[in-house]
Amino acid sequence: MRSPNPEPEALPSLATGFAALLRRDLLLAWRRRGEAANPLWFFAMITALVPLAVGPEPALLARLAPGMVWILALLGTMLAADSLFREDYVDGALEQLVLSPQPLWVLVLARVTAHWLVTGVPITLASPLLAGWLALPAGGVPMLVAGLALGTLTFCLFAAVGGALTVALGAGNVLRPLLVLPLYVPVLIFGTAAVARALEGGDGSAPLALLGAITAVTLAIAPVAAAAALRVGIDG
């Protein structure tokens, strides 16, 4: 219940709420930096397994590299997404967030941003190195990095929707990735196509622009959807 005449100063602005939650989440991630590095580990280890599985010929690896790096980035961000809302749900902090005067979607956006900074950005930064392991020609690297920067953010946004939908269902639920993986299809298509175009000597900016458009649309709808799903989970 809000008071009928809330004083303007009493309500922190959207930006303040966003920044406060972002700072808290990043601080928490910093205190557990070992755990926060897990997605990156995962990303690197599976990349190392690819040549062992398909053979070390550079030509074959180069052919597979854009797709493999994209899929591993997808799995890496998803692996960590289980903790997006779970702990806050278990210890009751989530209810406080829902009751806070800030719109819930702003707080979801802050949480997703923190998650992206901790998982998506390191994966994006590490991708040139790992693409090198897979013998990706240097011509494809700029598009790979640009695409992954946008793509991992979109993955994190969708993962938030999945995490919010299953937050009340208990830990270790395999349902969450299944719900949102179909939504990843366009991102994967445009992301890998941008790299492929660049490798053919063409211009990959058209698929990259489409990927950016998808990121923008997702940025608009996913926080709202995740907020709605969190309310359902808390009420239910």
Partner 1 sequence: MAERRWQWFHRLASPPGFYRVSGRWLPWLAGTSLALLAVGVVWGLLYAPPDARQGNSYRIIFLHVPASFLALAGYYVMAAAGAIHLIWRVKLADVVMSAAAPLGAALTFLALFSGSLWGKPTWGTYWVWDARITSMLVLLFLYLGVVTLRQAYASRETAGRACAVLALVGTVNIPIIYKSVDWWYSLHQPATIRLTAAPSMHPDMFQPLVVMILAFYLFYAWVLVLNVRAEILVRERRAGWVRDLAGEGESE
Residues within the interface to partner 1 (CB under 8 A)? 161, 165-166, 168-169, 173, 175, 178-183, 185-186, 189-190, 193, 196, 210, 214, 217, 221-222, 225, 228-229, 232-233, 235-236
Nearer to partner 1, 130 or 157 (CB): 157
Which residue type is seen at 116?
Answer: W
Nearer to partner 1, 47 or 173 (CB): 173
Q: CA torsion angle for 214, 132, 121, 39 (degrees, to 10)?
A: 100
Nearer to partner 1, 24 or 63 (CB): 63
Min dist CB 170 to partner 1, Å, is 9
Min dist CB 209 to partner 1, Å, is 13
167 vs 65: CA distance, rounded Å: 34
Nearer to partner 1, 142 or 186 (CB): 186
Other C-beta atoms lying within 10 Å of the C-beta of residue 155? 31
Min dist CB 182 to partner 1, Å, is 4
* DSSP state, residue 13: P
User: Is the CB of residue 164 less than 8 Å from the CB of residue 69?
Assistant: no
Other C-beta atoms lying within 10 Å of the C-beta of residue 52? 8
Min dist CB 140 to partner 1, Å, is 16
**Radius of gyration of the chain, Cα coordinates, nearest whole angstrom:** 19
Min dist CB 221 to partner 1, Å, is 6
Nearer to partner 1, 11 or 232 (CB): 232
